[in-house]
Chain A
């Protein structure tokens, strides 16, 4: 490990958010790619559609993120051929965790939020750290703007305590359009203070009709 230099990683910034509802899931990320004070490009997608009704948004080191996305896409294709069906979102969630932990001692520098519908068609969000610990939640934020966004989501969405027995549903009470509006607002706010977040917001909405993508502009400064 001592031979590992500081040059092997780079933080390319970016923020990822996902919100799950009763029958939908919203996954969003900005499209800015930066390093230090430089902006490399203003139009780089951080969201990868994986499995059936499932999208992964990642921020961190772009090289690792692309390798991770390619790896997962390849594993999902193998799964399709072996099982003659698409992978479910919770299955992809477990696969992502294992994939991250597999590189526990030379980690992917990637902060992931996986959102989609579970096998019952209910919205689900899985949130991760770089080495694979993960949790199913109703909403989450990851990346450089997460500290600005997460408390707002906590305040607006008031998820039931995980200590409650019997376990309460974690999905948010919002309607799909309310959730999309909330996502737009939290990103517009994070862009004001986080220099690594901005340029454009990419929103993927997943419901039983399928997935659709939507873009809105964010501050470019």
Chain B
């Protein structure tokens, strides 16, 4: 109950004590997303995993933030990318910082790989949905780590209610409709980084043309055995001069 919660946030579940709505009759604690990021594109290539997204975050249909990083490195072997509620993503990054720190403090030479991070996140997402207080995101986790069978590439995703799986290529949000068909026809296991960048840019360009909440400022990140690299943002060349773009009504059948 709300009146039993201390105001200073020293409660066990202090992180959300102040924000949580009372769990009584007639009250709601299910929120909806405010600031959202759009698609994440990710795929395995020869030396690791490549991940890409634009740097926009929308407030409803308003493009509110135009330069936010939606791809971050986690520990030594993983990358995480997020679509959906941006503040929930930032809370997830805090969870992951806590996780990697407490794991590091064992000082046993072990470190969490992408598989472990993914597994952890599936449990976090599923538990929050069970509390009817979800983290409104689709998360993509990619990474490489030495395993019993040598270098193992990993790419998985989890959504806001805890559905999760592994795949060779993943696209969230609008990308699931627009980019997946491209990835399914053109993806290969042994792509070089340059080929992977080309493929990812092709997907991003399609999304830029068709997803109204996407912007022309992109970030690409890769993770290999050498570690994570998040490249600085850049733009893609666009062409809007198609006749159908300039006069979409021309040739349309109808009295108007």
Contacts and interface: CB of A to CB of B under 8 A. Distances in A.
Interface in B1-48: 27-30
Contacts of A3: 27-30, 132
A38 B164 contact: no
Interface string B126-148: 10011010100000000000000
A67 B166 CA distance: 17
A44 B132 contact: no
Contacts of B165: 33, 40-41, 44, 62
Contacts, number: 51
Contacts of A35: 163
B129 A63 contact: yes
B134 A38 contact: no
B161 interface: yes
Interface in A105-164: 106
Given A66-B122, A67-B126, A41 B132 contact: no
B161 A40 contact: no
A5 B134 CA distance: 11
A165 interface: no
Interface stretch (A8-16, A73-81, A203-211): A8-16
Interface of B: 27-30, 122, 126, 129-130, 132, 134, 160-167, 176-177
A41 B28 contact: no
Nearest to A38: B176
Contacts of B129: 8, 63
A83 interface: no
A33 B163 CA distance: 10
Interface of A: 3-5, 7-10, 12, 33, 35, 38, 40-41, 43-44, 61-63, 66-67, 106
A106 B132 CA distance: 11
Given A3-B28, A3-B29, A63 B132 contact: no
A7 B28 contact: no
Given A5-B30, A5-B132, A67-B126, A62 B164 contact: yes
Contacts of B160: 7
Given A3-B28, A8-B129, A41 B161 contact: no
18 contacts: A3-B28, A3-B30, A3-B132, A4-B132, A7-B30, A7-B134, A7-B160, A8-B129, A8-B132, A8-B161, A10-B161, A12-B163, A38-B177, A40-B163, A40-B167, A44-B165, A62-B164, A66-B126
A17 B15 CA distance: 45
Residue of B161, B163, B177 with most partner-chain A CB within 10 A: B163
B85 to A, nearest CB: 13
B166 A63 contact: no
Residue of A4, A35, A67 with most partner-chain B CB within 10 A: A67
B177 A63 contact: no
Contacts of B167: 40-41, 43
Contacts of B163: 10, 12, 35, 40, 61-63
B164 A63 contact: yes
B162 A63 contact: yes
A62 B125 CA distance: 13
Contacts of B134: 7
Given A9-B161, A40-B165, A63 B30 contact: no
A221 to B, nearest CB: 12
Residue of A5, A63, A67 with most partner-chain B CB within 10 A: A63
Contacts of B176: 38
A35 B130 CA distance: 20
A44 B122 CA distance: 15
Given A33-B165, A41-B167, A66-B164, 15 more contacts: A3-B132, A5-B132, A7-B134, A7-B160, A7-B161, A8-B161, A10-B161, A40-B163, A41-B165, A41-B166, A62-B162, A62-B164, A63-B122, A63-B163, A106-B130
